[in-house]
Amino acid sequence: MKLLLSIFIALFAVIILSGYSFAQDAVKVDPKHYKVEFENDQVRVLRITYASGEQGVMHSHPEGVVIFLSDAIGKLTHPDGKTDTLDVKKGFVTWAPATTHQGENIGAKPFEVIQVEMKDK
């Protein structure tokens, strides 16, 4: 019975901690690529920069607006292994739902993005 309880506790901890690791703040887990430019009680504005060939770490964002300051060719890998490819032009603006992903610049040039993250009221 003790062994079964220990296995259950260990399994529960792994499940909880693995989910937690996917919900990490981009600025905390990947400060090389994510920098806070502005923050108040309603929004947080991030500057995101990736050099050609650079890959970030798995992190999460709440919903918000994304503004591309340069052309960007990138790949987003999600926790389930699925990927999305991006090929967008400078000036493109879009709404982004809350997400967890790992970013990568698969283009030949660096790119820069502003992301306005909405905060819960």
Cα–Cα distance measured from residue 31 to residue 57, given in angstroms and rounded to the nearest whole number: 10
Q: Give the chain's domain count.
A: 1
* pLDDT for the residue numbered 2: 59
- pLDDT in the model for residue 98: 96
**Which single residue is written with the structure tokens 């909405």?**
118
Report which DSSP code applies to 42: S
The structure's pTM equals: 0.80
Residue 23's pLDDT is: 66
Tell me the CATH number at 40.
Answer: 2.60.120.10
Q: Residue 96: give the domain boundaries.
A: 2-118
> Rounded distance, CA 61 to CA 98, Å?
6
Low-confidence ranges of the chain (pLDDT < 50): 4-6, 8-22
Task: Quickly count: other Cβ atoms within 10 Å of residue 80's Cβ.
Answer: 8
